[in-house]
Structure 1
Amino acid sequence: MDTLTLHLEPGQDLLRSVAEVAQEKRISGFLLGVVGNLSKASFQCPGRDKPTVLEGELEIITLNGTFDADGVHLHLSLSDGACQVWGGHLEPGSLIMKGADLLLGVLKQGQEAGQRAKTRLEIAVLPGCPWCDSGLRLLEAYKIPHKVITVDNDLTFQQCKQRSGMNTFPQVFIDGATVGGFDSLEKLQRSGELLSLK
Protein backbone atom coordinates (compact mmCIF):
# COMPACT_ATOMS: atom_id res chain seq x y z
CA MET A 1 0.00 0.00 0.00
CA ASP A 2 1.15 3.52 -0.84
CA THR A 3 0.06 6.71 0.90
CA LEU A 4 -0.87 10.11 -0.45
CA THR A 5 -1.33 13.35 1.48
CA LEU A 6 -4.01 15.81 0.44
CA HIS A 7 -4.11 19.39 1.74
CA LEU A 8 -7.37 21.31 1.34
CA GLU A 9 -7.72 25.09 1.49
CA PRO A 10 -10.58 27.20 2.92
CA GLY A 11 -13.75 26.97 0.86
CA GLN A 12 -12.93 23.67 -0.87
CA ASP A 13 -15.62 20.98 -0.87
CA LEU A 14 -14.41 17.99 1.16
CA LEU A 15 -16.24 15.24 -0.76
CA ARG A 16 -15.64 16.64 -4.22
CA SER A 17 -11.95 17.27 -3.53
CA VAL A 18 -11.36 13.61 -2.67
CA ALA A 19 -13.39 12.53 -5.72
CA GLU A 20 -11.42 14.82 -8.04
CA VAL A 21 -8.05 13.54 -6.80
CA ALA A 22 -9.18 9.92 -7.24
CA GLN A 23 -10.37 10.67 -10.78
CA GLU A 24 -7.32 12.65 -11.84
CA LYS A 25 -4.77 10.21 -10.44
CA ARG A 26 -6.85 7.07 -11.21
CA ILE A 27 -6.40 5.74 -7.69
CA SER A 28 -8.49 3.63 -5.34
CA GLY A 29 -8.15 3.04 -1.62
CA PHE A 30 -9.41 4.29 1.72
CA LEU A 31 -9.02 7.16 4.20
CA LEU A 32 -6.35 6.66 6.86
CA GLY A 33 -6.69 9.92 8.78
CA VAL A 34 -7.76 13.57 8.76
CA VAL A 35 -7.13 16.77 10.71
CA GLY A 36 -9.06 19.95 10.00
CA ASN A 37 -12.30 21.84 10.35
CA LEU A 38 -15.36 22.84 8.37
CA SER A 39 -17.40 26.02 8.08
CA LYS A 40 -20.35 24.01 6.74
CA ALA A 41 -21.11 20.31 6.98
CA SER A 42 -23.68 18.35 4.97
CA PHE A 43 -24.29 14.73 5.90
CA GLN A 44 -27.05 12.16 5.66
CA CYS A 45 -28.30 10.81 8.97
CA PRO A 46 -29.81 7.30 9.03
CA GLY A 47 -33.55 7.24 8.39
CA ARG A 48 -33.86 10.86 7.25
CA ASP A 49 -35.07 12.00 3.83
CA LYS A 50 -32.80 15.04 3.52
CA PRO A 51 -29.21 15.76 4.52
CA THR A 52 -28.51 17.54 7.80
CA VAL A 53 -26.63 20.82 7.31
CA LEU A 54 -24.65 22.53 10.07
CA GLU A 55 -22.74 25.81 9.92
CA GLY A 56 -20.17 27.32 12.28
CA GLU A 57 -16.74 26.21 13.46
CA LEU A 58 -16.99 22.44 13.13
CA GLU A 59 -14.05 20.23 14.09
CA ILE A 60 -13.62 17.05 12.05
CA ILE A 61 -13.23 14.05 14.36
CA THR A 62 -13.16 11.18 11.88
CA LEU A 63 -13.54 10.63 8.15
CA ASN A 64 -13.72 7.01 7.06
CA GLY A 65 -14.53 5.28 3.82
CA THR A 66 -13.35 4.38 0.36
CA PHE A 67 -12.57 6.15 -2.90
CA ASP A 68 -11.84 5.22 -6.48
CA ALA A 69 -11.88 6.81 -9.92
CA ASP A 70 -15.66 6.35 -10.18
CA GLY A 71 -16.67 7.89 -6.85
CA VAL A 72 -16.32 8.02 -3.09
CA HIS A 73 -18.25 6.69 -0.10
CA LEU A 74 -17.27 8.51 3.10
CA HIS A 75 -18.65 8.75 6.64
CA LEU A 76 -17.97 11.88 8.71
CA SER A 77 -18.13 12.62 12.42
CA LEU A 78 -17.62 16.15 13.75
CA SER A 79 -18.01 18.30 16.82
CA ASP A 80 -19.84 21.63 17.03
CA GLY A 81 -19.06 24.58 19.34
CA ALA A 82 -20.96 22.93 22.21
CA CYS A 83 -18.86 19.74 21.84
CA GLN A 84 -21.91 17.90 20.55
CA VAL A 85 -20.92 15.15 18.13
CA TRP A 86 -22.72 14.68 14.82
CA GLY A 87 -22.14 12.26 11.99
CA GLY A 88 -23.39 10.44 8.96
CA HIS A 89 -22.83 9.85 5.24
CA LEU A 90 -20.78 12.75 3.83
CA GLU A 91 -22.64 14.81 1.21
CA PRO A 92 -21.52 17.52 -1.24
CA GLY A 93 -21.54 20.99 0.31
CA SER A 94 -19.20 20.29 3.25
CA LEU A 95 -16.77 23.20 3.05
CA ILE A 96 -13.31 23.53 4.57
CA MET A 97 -12.95 26.36 7.11
CA LYS A 98 -9.26 27.00 7.88
CA GLY A 99 -7.76 23.96 6.21
CA ALA A 100 -7.65 20.18 6.31
CA ASP A 101 -4.99 17.52 5.79
CA LEU A 102 -5.99 14.03 4.71
CA LEU A 103 -3.92 10.86 4.51
CA LEU A 104 -5.09 8.50 1.79
CA GLY A 105 -4.19 4.83 1.63
CA VAL A 106 -3.75 3.96 -2.05
CA LEU A 107 -4.32 0.31 -2.99
CA LYS A 108 -4.44 0.59 -6.80
CA GLN A 109 -3.28 3.22 -9.22
CA GLY A 110 -3.47 3.97 -12.92
CA GLN A 111 -5.00 1.48 -15.33
CA GLU A 112 -5.44 -1.15 -12.65
CA ALA A 113 -7.70 1.19 -10.65
CA GLY A 114 -9.73 1.95 -13.77
CA GLN A 115 -10.30 -1.59 -15.01
CA ARG A 116 -14.06 -1.19 -14.77
CA ALA A 117 -15.93 0.08 -17.82
CA LYS A 118 -15.12 3.59 -18.94
CA THR A 119 -17.14 6.21 -17.07
CA ARG A 120 -19.89 7.18 -19.52
CA LEU A 121 -21.69 9.82 -17.46
CA GLU A 122 -20.37 13.28 -16.64
CA ILE A 123 -22.15 15.80 -14.45
CA ALA A 124 -21.26 19.49 -14.26
CA VAL A 125 -22.21 21.04 -10.92
CA LEU A 126 -22.17 24.44 -9.23
CA PRO A 127 -20.98 24.50 -5.58
CA GLY A 128 -23.95 25.09 -3.27
CA CYS A 129 -26.56 24.27 -5.95
CA PRO A 130 -29.33 22.11 -4.38
CA TRP A 131 -30.31 20.51 -7.72
CA CYS A 132 -26.66 19.60 -8.32
CA ASP A 133 -26.42 18.03 -4.87
CA SER A 134 -29.63 16.07 -5.54
CA GLY A 135 -28.20 14.83 -8.84
CA LEU A 136 -24.99 13.65 -7.16
CA ARG A 137 -26.94 11.91 -4.40
CA LEU A 138 -29.03 10.10 -7.03
CA LEU A 139 -25.93 8.87 -8.86
CA GLU A 140 -24.27 7.79 -5.62
CA ALA A 141 -27.42 6.03 -4.38
CA TYR A 142 -27.52 3.90 -7.54
CA LYS A 143 -23.72 3.56 -7.61
CA ILE A 144 -23.50 4.95 -11.14
CA PRO A 145 -19.88 5.64 -12.18
CA HIS A 146 -19.61 9.33 -13.00
CA LYS A 147 -17.14 12.14 -13.51
CA VAL A 148 -17.83 15.39 -11.66
CA ILE A 149 -17.01 18.71 -13.33
CA THR A 150 -17.00 21.39 -10.63
CA VAL A 151 -17.95 24.76 -12.12
CA ASP A 152 -16.12 27.14 -9.78
CA ASN A 153 -14.78 29.72 -12.24
CA ASP A 154 -15.92 31.70 -15.29
CA LEU A 155 -13.82 29.68 -17.74
CA THR A 156 -15.34 26.35 -16.71
CA PHE A 157 -18.81 27.92 -16.75
CA GLN A 158 -18.34 29.15 -20.31
CA GLN A 159 -16.93 25.79 -21.42
CA CYS A 160 -19.94 23.93 -20.02
CA LYS A 161 -22.38 26.47 -21.49
CA GLN A 162 -20.77 26.13 -24.92
CA ARG A 163 -20.78 22.35 -24.70
CA SER A 164 -24.38 21.95 -23.54
CA GLY A 165 -26.13 25.09 -24.75
CA MET A 166 -27.57 25.38 -21.22
CA ASN A 167 -27.31 28.10 -18.55
CA THR A 168 -28.69 25.96 -15.71
CA PHE A 169 -27.08 23.24 -13.59
CA PRO A 170 -26.53 20.39 -13.17
CA GLN A 171 -25.64 19.52 -16.74
CA VAL A 172 -25.57 15.82 -17.52
CA PHE A 173 -23.62 14.25 -20.38
CA ILE A 174 -23.64 10.60 -21.47
CA ASP A 175 -21.00 9.39 -23.90
CA GLY A 176 -20.14 13.05 -24.50
CA ALA A 177 -23.69 14.04 -25.54
CA THR A 178 -25.83 16.49 -23.56
CA VAL A 179 -28.74 14.76 -21.80
CA GLY A 180 -30.14 17.71 -19.82
CA GLY A 181 -30.43 18.64 -16.16
CA PHE A 182 -31.74 17.05 -12.97
CA ASP A 183 -35.20 16.40 -14.45
CA SER A 184 -33.60 14.42 -17.29
CA LEU A 185 -31.53 12.45 -14.79
CA GLU A 186 -34.67 11.58 -12.81
CA LYS A 187 -36.39 10.50 -16.03
CA LEU A 188 -33.49 8.14 -16.79
CA GLN A 189 -33.77 6.73 -13.27
CA ARG A 190 -37.54 6.17 -13.55
CA SER A 191 -37.20 4.45 -16.94
CA GLY A 192 -34.43 2.16 -15.70
CA GLU A 193 -31.95 3.49 -18.28
CA LEU A 194 -29.71 4.89 -15.55
CA LEU A 195 -28.84 1.42 -14.31
CA SER A 196 -27.50 0.50 -17.76
CA LEU A 197 -24.61 2.91 -17.11
CA LYS A 198 -23.19 0.79 -14.28
Structure 2
Amino acid sequence: MLSLPLNLAPGSDLRLSIEQLAAEQQISGFVLGVVGNLSQASFQCPGQAEPRVLKGDLEVITLNGNFSPKGVHLHLSLSDGACQVWGGHLEPGTLVQKGVDLLLGITDQSESQPPKAPDAMTNPRLEIAVLPGCPWCARALRLLRTLDLPHQVDTVNGDADFKRWQSRSGMSTFPQVFVDGQLIGGYDDLTTLHASGELEALR
Protein backbone atom coordinates (compact mmCIF):
# COMPACT_ATOMS: atom_id res chain seq x y z
CA MET A 1 0.00 0.00 0.00
CA LEU A 2 1.19 3.51 -0.85
CA SER A 3 0.42 6.61 1.23
CA LEU A 4 -0.34 10.04 -0.21
CA PRO A 5 -0.47 13.30 1.81
CA LEU A 6 -3.13 15.78 0.72
CA ASN A 7 -3.19 19.39 1.96
CA LEU A 8 -6.40 21.34 1.35
CA ALA A 9 -6.32 25.13 1.26
CA PRO A 10 -8.95 27.47 2.76
CA GLY A 11 -12.24 27.35 0.85
CA SER A 12 -11.63 23.86 -0.59
CA ASP A 13 -14.54 21.44 -0.59
CA LEU A 14 -13.45 18.40 1.44
CA ARG A 15 -15.51 15.79 -0.37
CA LEU A 16 -15.13 17.19 -3.89
CA SER A 17 -11.35 17.49 -3.46
CA ILE A 18 -11.04 13.78 -2.65
CA GLU A 19 -13.44 12.83 -5.46
CA GLN A 20 -11.48 14.91 -7.96
CA LEU A 21 -8.14 13.45 -6.92
CA ALA A 22 -9.43 9.87 -7.19
CA ALA A 23 -11.01 10.50 -10.60
CA GLU A 24 -8.05 12.35 -12.12
CA GLN A 25 -5.40 9.89 -10.93
CA GLN A 26 -7.60 6.77 -11.17
CA ILE A 27 -6.79 5.66 -7.64
CA SER A 28 -8.71 3.82 -4.94
CA GLY A 29 -8.09 3.61 -1.22
CA PHE A 30 -9.17 4.93 2.15
CA VAL A 31 -8.47 7.75 4.60
CA LEU A 32 -5.69 6.96 7.09
CA GLY A 33 -5.76 10.20 9.06
CA VAL A 34 -7.01 13.78 9.13
CA VAL A 35 -6.47 17.01 11.05
CA GLY A 36 -7.85 20.48 10.39
CA ASN A 37 -10.82 22.77 10.69
CA LEU A 38 -13.88 23.78 8.69
CA SER A 39 -15.96 26.90 8.20
CA GLN A 40 -18.96 24.83 7.07
CA ALA A 41 -19.87 21.15 7.33
CA SER A 42 -22.53 19.33 5.35
CA PHE A 43 -23.37 15.79 6.41
CA GLN A 44 -26.25 13.37 6.06
CA CYS A 45 -27.78 12.09 9.31
CA PRO A 46 -29.53 8.69 9.37
CA GLY A 47 -33.19 8.83 8.41
CA GLN A 48 -33.14 12.48 7.34
CA ALA A 49 -34.29 13.68 3.92
CA GLU A 50 -31.73 16.48 3.57
CA PRO A 51 -28.15 16.98 4.76
CA ARG A 52 -27.55 18.98 7.94
CA VAL A 53 -25.37 22.08 7.44
CA LEU A 54 -23.34 23.64 10.27
CA LYS A 55 -21.37 26.89 10.06
CA GLY A 56 -18.77 28.36 12.38
CA ASP A 57 -15.41 27.32 13.84
CA LEU A 58 -15.58 23.55 13.41
CA GLU A 59 -12.80 21.10 14.30
CA VAL A 60 -12.47 17.86 12.36
CA ILE A 61 -12.27 14.84 14.67
CA THR A 62 -12.36 11.91 12.26
CA LEU A 63 -12.87 11.14 8.59
CA ASN A 64 -13.30 7.48 7.73
CA GLY A 65 -14.20 5.64 4.56
CA ASN A 66 -13.04 4.88 1.06
CA PHE A 67 -12.66 6.51 -2.34
CA SER A 68 -12.30 5.37 -5.93
CA PRO A 69 -12.67 6.87 -9.42
CA LYS A 70 -16.37 5.98 -9.21
CA GLY A 71 -17.01 8.01 -6.05
CA VAL A 72 -16.52 8.17 -2.30
CA HIS A 73 -18.17 6.84 0.86
CA LEU A 74 -16.91 8.87 3.78
CA HIS A 75 -18.09 9.46 7.37
CA LEU A 76 -17.20 12.75 9.09
CA SER A 77 -17.24 13.61 12.79
CA LEU A 78 -16.55 17.13 14.04
CA SER A 79 -16.81 19.38 17.08
CA ASP A 80 -18.43 22.81 17.25
CA GLY A 81 -17.50 25.76 19.48
CA ALA A 82 -19.42 24.26 22.40
CA CYS A 83 -17.49 20.97 22.06
CA GLN A 84 -20.65 19.25 20.86
CA VAL A 85 -19.84 16.39 18.51
CA TRP A 86 -21.69 15.91 15.22
CA GLY A 87 -21.31 13.40 12.45
CA GLY A 88 -22.72 11.61 9.45
CA HIS A 89 -22.10 10.90 5.76
CA LEU A 90 -19.80 13.56 4.28
CA GLU A 91 -21.60 15.66 1.65
CA PRO A 92 -20.50 18.38 -0.82
CA GLY A 93 -20.48 21.81 0.78
CA THR A 94 -18.05 20.89 3.57
CA LEU A 95 -15.56 23.77 3.36
CA VAL A 96 -12.04 24.10 4.75
CA GLN A 97 -11.47 27.03 7.08
CA LYS A 98 -7.70 27.43 7.65
CA GLY A 99 -6.52 24.08 6.33
CA VAL A 100 -7.08 20.33 6.36
CA ASP A 101 -4.27 17.78 6.14
CA LEU A 102 -5.17 14.26 5.02
CA LEU A 103 -3.17 11.07 4.71
CA LEU A 104 -4.63 8.73 2.11
CA GLY A 105 -3.86 5.05 1.75
CA ILE A 106 -3.73 3.98 -1.91
CA THR A 107 -4.72 0.36 -2.51
CA ASP A 108 -5.21 0.41 -6.28
CA GLN A 109 -4.11 2.59 -9.19
CA SER A 110 -4.36 2.15 -12.94
CA GLU A 111 -0.98 3.67 -13.78
CA SER A 112 2.48 2.28 -13.05
CA GLN A 113 3.65 5.65 -11.70
CA PRO A 114 3.01 6.47 -8.02
CA PRO A 115 0.19 8.94 -7.32
CA LYS A 116 1.11 12.59 -7.06
CA ALA A 117 -0.14 15.23 -4.68
CA PRO A 118 -2.39 17.81 -6.43
CA ASP A 119 0.19 20.61 -6.30
CA ALA A 120 2.43 18.45 -8.51
CA MET A 121 -0.24 17.80 -11.12
CA THR A 122 -0.60 19.74 -14.35
CA ASN A 123 -3.38 22.31 -14.18
CA PRO A 124 -6.41 21.02 -16.10
CA ARG A 125 -7.75 23.04 -19.02
CA LEU A 126 -11.27 23.04 -17.61
CA GLU A 127 -12.15 25.08 -14.51
CA ILE A 128 -15.56 25.18 -12.83
CA ALA A 129 -16.80 27.48 -10.07
CA VAL A 130 -19.62 26.06 -7.94
CA LEU A 131 -21.91 27.10 -5.12
CA PRO A 132 -22.42 24.67 -2.20
CA GLY A 133 -25.89 23.13 -2.39
CA CYS A 134 -26.49 24.26 -6.00
CA PRO A 135 -28.27 21.44 -7.91
CA TRP A 136 -27.03 22.61 -11.32
CA CYS A 137 -23.47 22.69 -9.99
CA ALA A 138 -23.88 19.13 -8.71
CA ARG A 139 -25.16 18.03 -12.13
CA ALA A 140 -22.24 19.69 -13.89
CA LEU A 141 -19.71 18.02 -11.59
CA ARG A 142 -21.44 14.67 -12.05
CA LEU A 143 -21.20 15.06 -15.83
CA LEU A 144 -17.48 15.86 -15.68
CA ARG A 145 -16.81 12.91 -13.37
CA THR A 146 -18.84 10.56 -15.59
CA LEU A 147 -16.83 11.67 -18.63
CA ASP A 148 -13.59 11.34 -16.61
CA LEU A 149 -12.50 14.83 -17.66
CA PRO A 150 -9.68 16.54 -15.72
CA HIS A 151 -11.07 19.69 -14.11
CA GLN A 152 -10.36 22.14 -11.32
CA VAL A 153 -13.19 22.85 -8.87
CA ASP A 154 -13.41 26.24 -7.16
CA THR A 155 -16.04 26.53 -4.43
CA VAL A 156 -17.67 29.92 -3.80
CA ASN A 157 -17.49 30.49 -0.05
CA GLY A 158 -19.01 33.83 0.95
CA ASP A 159 -19.72 37.22 -0.60
CA ALA A 160 -16.10 38.02 -1.42
CA ASP A 161 -15.75 34.87 -3.53
CA PHE A 162 -19.11 35.53 -5.19
CA LYS A 163 -18.11 39.07 -6.18
CA ARG A 164 -14.72 37.87 -7.45
CA TRP A 165 -16.32 35.31 -9.77
CA GLN A 166 -19.04 37.73 -10.84
CA SER A 167 -16.36 40.28 -11.75
CA ARG A 168 -14.42 37.68 -13.74
CA SER A 169 -17.36 36.23 -15.68
CA GLY A 170 -20.05 38.91 -15.65
CA MET A 171 -22.43 36.16 -14.48
CA SER A 172 -24.37 35.96 -11.21
CA THR A 173 -25.45 32.32 -11.64
CA PHE A 174 -23.52 29.09 -11.11
CA PRO A 175 -21.86 26.91 -12.17
CA GLN A 176 -19.43 28.99 -14.19
CA VAL A 177 -17.31 26.99 -16.61
CA PHE A 178 -13.98 28.12 -18.10
CA VAL A 179 -11.74 26.42 -20.67
CA ASP A 180 -8.16 27.66 -20.96
CA GLY A 181 -9.19 30.64 -18.83
CA GLN A 182 -12.02 31.66 -21.18
CA LEU A 183 -15.64 31.68 -20.02
CA ILE A 184 -17.80 28.99 -21.61
CA GLY A 185 -20.96 29.64 -19.61
CA GLY A 186 -23.10 27.62 -17.25
CA TYR A 187 -24.59 24.14 -17.04
CA ASP A 188 -26.58 24.42 -20.29
CA ASP A 189 -23.49 25.56 -22.17
CA LEU A 190 -21.53 22.63 -20.72
CA THR A 191 -24.14 20.13 -21.90
CA THR A 192 -24.16 21.77 -25.33
CA LEU A 193 -20.39 21.21 -25.56
CA HIS A 194 -20.92 17.61 -24.51
CA ALA A 195 -23.62 17.05 -27.14
CA SER A 196 -21.33 18.44 -29.85
CA GLY A 197 -18.44 16.20 -28.78
CA GLU A 198 -16.17 19.17 -27.99
CA LEU A 199 -15.69 18.18 -24.36
CA GLU A 200 -13.79 15.08 -25.43
CA ALA A 201 -11.01 17.28 -26.80
CA LEU A 202 -10.25 18.47 -23.25
CA ARG A 203 -8.89 15.11 -22.06
- TM tier, smaller: 0.5 to 0.7
Deviation of 1:176 (Å): 3.8
Letter of the structure 2 residue corresponding to residue 12 of structure 1: S
Letter of the structure 2 residue corresponding to residue 94 of structure 1: T
Alignment of 1:84-123 (within 5 A): 84-111=84-111
Change (3 A) 1:55 1:79: same
Aligned counterparts of 1:6 and 1:168: Cα–Cα separation in 2: 29
- Alignment equivalent of 1:127, drawn from 126, 131, 134: 131
Alignment of 1:18-29 (within 5 A): 18-29=18-29
Aligned counterparts of 1:107 and 1:173: Cα–Cα separation in 2: 34
Change (3 A) 1:171 1:22: farther
> SS of 2:177's equivalent?
helix
> SS of 1:157's equivalent?
strand
Letter of the structure 1 residue corresponding to residue 195 of structure 2: A
Aligned position for 2:5: 5
Deviation of 1:158 (Å): 3.4
1:139-195 deviation line (CA, Å, top 9, x unaligned): 6xxxx95648555375872339x89x7x444877599427xxxxxxxxxxxxxxxxx
Aligned position for 2:32: 32
Alignment of 1:44-83 (within 5 A): 44-83=44-83
Aligned position for 2:172: none
Aligned counterparts of 2:192 and 2:89: Cα–Cα separation in 1: 27
Q: Is the 8 A contact 2:76 2:90 kept in 1?
A: yes
Deviation of 1:26 (Å): 1.4
Change (3 A) 1:39 1:28: same
Aligned position for 1:177: 195
Gap regions ≥5 residues in structure 2? 113-127, 155-164, 170-175, 197-203
Identity in percent:
49
Change (3 A) 1:50 1:135: farther
- Two-structure CA RMSD over aligned residues (Å): 3.5
Aligned counterparts of 1:133 and 1:46: Cα–Cα separation in 2: 25
Count of aligned positions: 163
Q: Is the 8 A contact 1:127 1:150 kept in 2?
A: no
Q: Which moved more, 1:33-42 or 1:124-133?
A: 124-133
Q: Is the 8 A contact 1:42 1:92 kept in 2?
A: yes
Letter of the structure 2 residue corresponding to residue 158 of structure 1: F
Letter of the structure 2 residue corresponding to residue 51 of structure 1: P
> SS of 2:21's equivalent?
helix
Normalised by the length of structure 2, the TM-score is: 0.66
1:23-64 deviation line (CA, Å, top 9, x unaligned): 222110001110001000001111111110000010001101
Q: Is the 8 A contact 1:70 1:147 kept in 2?
A: no
Q: Is the 8 A contact 1:22 1:67 kept in 2?
A: yes
Deviation of 1:92 (Å): 0.5
Deviation of 1:131 (Å): 1.2
Aligned counterparts of 2:49 and 2:140: Cα–Cα separation in 1: 15
